[in-house]
Chain A
Amino acid sequence: MVRTYLLLAWTWLRASAQYPVSLAMMVLGSFAVNALDVAAIWIIFQHTGSLGGFGLAEVMFLYGTADMSFALADTLFGNVDRLSHHIRSGSFDTMLIRPASAFVQMATDRFSVHRFGRLAQSAVVLGIALPRLGLPWERTWMVPLMIACGVVIFAAIFTLGGALQFLLTDAPEVANAFTYGGSALTQYPLSVYGEQLVRGVTFVVPLAFVNWQPALYVLDRPDPLGLPYWLRFAAPLAALLLALAAALAWRAGIRRYRSTGS
């Protein structure tokens, strides 16, 4: 499965290298668009000392971790949300006649380096934020773990969005509210949003575990909403449950596709 993924991804990478100029433009463009996000945060801090009770370096830490998780998930699995396009053009059928997982074929379809622009940008942001935070070593272990859990959570949401398109072939954008919307939401401290929304993204769509809850631990902050302390360590569990739900939904979607043909 992993070897198949790598081989297909490598094949698409070589294919995209056929258009080097377009490739370079896309990497630059994606870097620039995301850099504007960071500029927006910086401008906010020109007018106010804190955002939702968090300082500039802390907000950049939240932004950088969320963005890195999203960029990795998007690079690895983001193409799954192009499913409805493949169903309508019939190319999904050609994937089903190959002896390989349809999910891996979907995920690697048109794999291109342009998404690395966003990844590079999030690395820069984290690189600026981390030294300024002066994190104690005993809490730093959470940082790679929270990024990994964030990748799983976003990948699962991409997969759920793809699975949804087996039902809604003509409304692929519905899923974008949760993928791109979720990415935008987690870039800021959740304390700037209303309490109901925060509860929703903690217990329903577990976006709060992408960075918010583990970051409260890393930054050693009290939860503004007063949610239980153990939630800060619940990210792996949330990621696992969501990944399981996504895998089941995808399988059900494939079964439905093969039994309805639409």
Chain B
Amino acid sequence: MIEVDRAGRSFTVGRGSARRTVHAVRDLSFTVGAGEFVGYLGPNGAGKSTTIKMLTGVLAPTSGRLRVAGLDPTRRRTALARRIGVVFGQRTTLWWDLPLKDSFQLIRYLYKVDRIDFRRRLDELAGLLDLGSFMDTPVRQLSLGQRMRGDVTAALLHDPAVLVLDEPTIGLDVVSKAAMRDFLRRLNAERGTTVLLTTHDLGDIEKLCRRVMLIDHGRLGFDGTLDELRATGPDGDSLEEVVARLYTGSAPGTPAPP
């Protein structure tokens, strides 16, 4: 469903003599099969957002190639947009001053979703995510948890094969977080939607992801199951300790721990 083959992305920063090239992502290769639920971890600035931008067609890679849902994201941006759903936890894609249901109608049109399919999917999502009480509320008046549920619904109305989530639980309280996780697990299990999730919340990873990829300094540092990830550290270490060790251990110039 997602194929990344030796993808690289560098940026030129600074001016004049201070000009230099920064490699945000280098030589990144991985594949994600249909129906997988993959956690994508990495410290700040590791290249997670750059990867997501390349997968969604916002940013073209400087080297290598990518395919998402059978399409080249750079060349087929709008066609790809109809096959994937994207949620940014830090930023809403809804219309701030409009009632939630109006945003959904607009999305129905932009994504050319059939009226009957739309009705059925919206009813289903509204039930699962409990949107009923605030469908008529302008987005700006929603709580963060409500808004996030709205954003997730908006990303799924066109029934995408792949869902890309960029920190979907950031800032949510424990109840909202649990509801969101429960929903995502069911979506993956029952509809078979492929999910790629970036997060700093290891609880998300433990509860949801069978497979974990860890990126640091633009390179893939780990790719395996959750159990394999745990096994890289001594017994009894929490997932947090294991991941922290991988983050610091893979820094350039620091020898990897024996």
Which A residues lie at the B interface, using CB under 8 A? 4, 7-8, 11-12, 14-16, 18-19, 90-91, 93-94, 96-100, 258-262
CB of B56 within 8 A of CB of A97, answer yes
Chain A neighbourhood of B9, CB < 8 A: 261
Pick the contact of A100: B53, B79, B110 (CB < 8 A).
B110
**How far apart are A255's CB and chain B's nearest CB, in angstroms?**
8
Among B94-102, B171-179, B245-253, the stretch in contact with A: B94-102
Q: How far is the CB of A226 from chain B (nearest CB, A)?
A: 47
User: Are A96 and B110 touching (Cβ within 8 A)?
Assistant: no
Inter-chain contact B102/A97, CB cutoff 8 Å: no
- CB atoms of A99 and B78 under 8 A apart: yes
B11 at the interface (CB under 8 A from A): yes
- Whether B81 lies near A99 (C-beta < 8 A) is yes
Known pairs A11-B98, A94-B88, A96-B77 / 19 extra A-B pairs, C-beta < 8 Å: A15-B97, A18-B97, A18-B138, A19-B97, A90-B91, A91-B91, A96-B56, A96-B57, A97-B86, A98-B93, A98-B110, A99-B78, A99-B81, A258-B57, A259-B59, A260-B12, A261-B9, A261-B53, A261-B59
Among B56, B58, B82, B88, the most chain A Cβ lie within 10 Å of the Cβ of: B58
- Check: B30 CB closer than 8 A to any chain A CB: no
Residues of B within 8 A of A (CB): 9, 11-12, 50, 53, 56-60, 62, 74, 77-79, 81-82, 86, 88, 91, 93, 95-98, 102, 106, 109-112, 138
Which A residues lie within 8 Å of B96 (CB)?
A: 15
Q: 24 pairs across A/B with beta carbons < 8 Å?
A: A4-B109, A4-B110, A7-B106, A11-B98, A12-B95, A14-B98, A14-B102, A15-B95, A16-B97, A19-B97, A91-B91, A93-B53, A93-B58, A94-B91, A96-B56, A97-B56, A97-B81, A99-B110, A100-B110, A258-B60, A261-B9, A261-B50, A261-B53, A262-B11
Q: Which residues of A contact B58 (CB under 8 A)?
A: 93, 96-97, 258
When chains A and B are docked, how far (Å) is the Cα of A99 from the Cα of B58? 12
- Shortest Cβ distance from residue B238 to the other chain A in the assembled complex, whole angstroms: 33
With CB as the reference atom, state the residue of chain A lying closest to B78: A99
Nearest residue, chain A, Cβ from B86? A97
CB distance from A97 to the nearest CB of B (A): 5
Asked whether B88 lies within 8 Å of A258 as measured between CB atoms, the reply is no
Cβ distance A80 to chain B, nearest Cβ, rounded Å: 19
- Minimal beta-carbon separation of B54 from chain A (angstroms): 10
- For the complex, give the distance between the alpha carbons of A4 and B112 in Å: 11
- Interchain CB contact (< 8 A) of B106 among A11, A19, A259: A11
Chain B residue at smallest Cβ distance from A91: B91
B77, closest chain A residue (CB)? A96
Smallest CB–CB gap between A79 and chain B, Å? Answer: 15
Across-interface contacts of A16 in B (CB, < 8 A): 97
Cβ contacts under 8 Å, A8 to chain B: 106
